Amino acid sequence: MITNREAGTRIDEIVDGIYRISTPVSKLPGGFSFNQYLILDDEPLLFHTGPRRLFPLVREAIASVMPVDRLRHISFSHYEADECGALNEFLAAAPSATPLCGRVAALVSVTDIADRAPRSMDNGETLSLGSHTVQWHDTPHLPHAWECGFLYEMRTRTLLCSDLFSQGGAEHPPLTEADILGPSEAFRAQMDYYSHTRNGRAMIERLAALQPKTLACMHGSAWRGDGASLLRALGERLERTAAI
Ligand SMILES: [Fe+2]
Ligand SMILES: [Fe+2]
C-alpha cells in the first residue's frame, strides 16, 4: 500500500503482524531504498527509524496501520542515521516508547543522545511483545559497528537483519523469493561496508542456526526462503573475498 504518492513510501505486511515500510531514494547514484519494520502487537516495536529527514514519511506509513503514539519500542541494529536518526522524533511522538538496543549501543551512544533512557538487551535475551517475541543477537562489527546486533522474531522466524544483504537500486518488491545474495554482493563490490572482522563466519553461523524463514533487510526487498542456507552462502562469499 502506497502511503505517500510523491515520495513513493509504501507499507506492506510481509509476514504475520510484521510490516515493511520502504521509501525509494532515486537521487542517490544507482538509486537506494530505506526500510523500517513495524511489529504490530500489544507492545508495537519499530526496527530502524529511518534517517531523520524521512521521519514524516515513516510516521505517515505507521499511522496507516495504527496510531503512532501506541509505539512502545524503538529499536535498531547500530548507531547510524538510517538506523536511528529519527529516534528522538519518535520518542516525542510516542510518549510510552523507549529505545531498545544492545548493551554496547546503550553504553556508548544511546544513553547520551536519546531523550529517554534506553532499555538494553543482552545477547540472547528475549522480550515478549504480546503474540510476537523478539530476541537480541550481538554481532559486533558484522557487518559494521562495534555495537551491531540484530533482533530475531521467534514466532514468525523473522531475522531483522539490518544491513546484511543490502541491495542497491530504488525500486524493489516488498518481499521476494528470488536471489538477493547476487544483488547484495554486487552492491558490496561498490561499497566496502563490511568491517573485515575475523569473527564474522562464527557470528553468521550463530544466525544461521536460528533457521530464519524471512530476512527483513534494511535496503531492498525482504526475502523469504531457507535463511540458514542463504546466510551460510553469504559467509562463504565473505570469506572467499577476505571480507571476514
Ligand atoms: Fe549500517
Ligand atoms: Fe543501513
pLDDT tens, position by position, 89-117? 999 999 999 999 999 999 999 999 999 99
The count of C-alpha atoms lying within 13 angstroms of the C-alpha of 229, restricted to the half-sphere facing its C-beta, is 7
Q: How far is the CA of 31 from the centre of ligand 2 (A)?
A: 14
The pTM assigned to this predicted structure is 0.98
Ligand 1 centroid – CA 34 distance (Å): 11
Nearest to 20 by CA among 215, 211, 199: 215
Q: Which ligand is nearest to the CA of 144?
A: 1
Measured from the alpha carbon of residue 36, the closest ligand is 2
Distance 210 CA to ligand 2 centre (A): 22
Cα 27 from Cα 116, distance rounded (Å)? 33
Q: What is the CA radius of gyration of the chain?
A: 16
Q: Which residue has the cell 515493511?
A: 20
CA dist 224 → 17, 96, 147, 166 (Å): 15, 32, 27, 15
Residue with cell 543490502: 166
CA of 213 to the centre of ligand 1 (A): 22
Length of the chain: 244
C-alpha cell at 7: 515520495
The residue type at 164: L
- Contact predicate 157/100, CB 8 Å: no
Quote the ligand 2 centre to 110 CA distance (angstroms).
17
Ligand nearest to the CA of 148: 1
Nearest ligand to the CA atom of 142: 1
Ligand whose nearest atom lies closest to the CA of 80:
1
Closest listed ligand to the CA of 217: 2
CA dihedral 20, 233, 28, 53 (to 10 degrees): 40
Cell of 98: 523507549
As residues whose CB is below 5 A from the ion ligand 1, the structure lists 80, 163
Tell me what pLDDT residue 29 has: 85
Longest dimension (CA), the chain: 47
Report which bound ligand comes closest to the CA of 220.
Answer: 2
Which ranges of the chain have pLDDT less than 70?
Answer: 244
Q: Nearest bound ligand to CA 145?
A: 1
Ligand nearest to the CA of 219: 2
Give the Å distance between the CA of 93 and the centre of ligand 1: 24
Q: 162: CA distance to ligand 2 center in Å?
A: 6
What does the alpha-carbon distance between residue 187 and residue 26 come to, in Å, rounded to a whole number? 16
What pLDDT does residue 147 have?
98
- The residue type found at 32 is F
Residue 244 confidence (pLDDT) = 65
Answer whether 55's CB lies under 8 Å from 86's CB: yes
**Ligand 1 mean position to 41 CA, how many Å?**
26
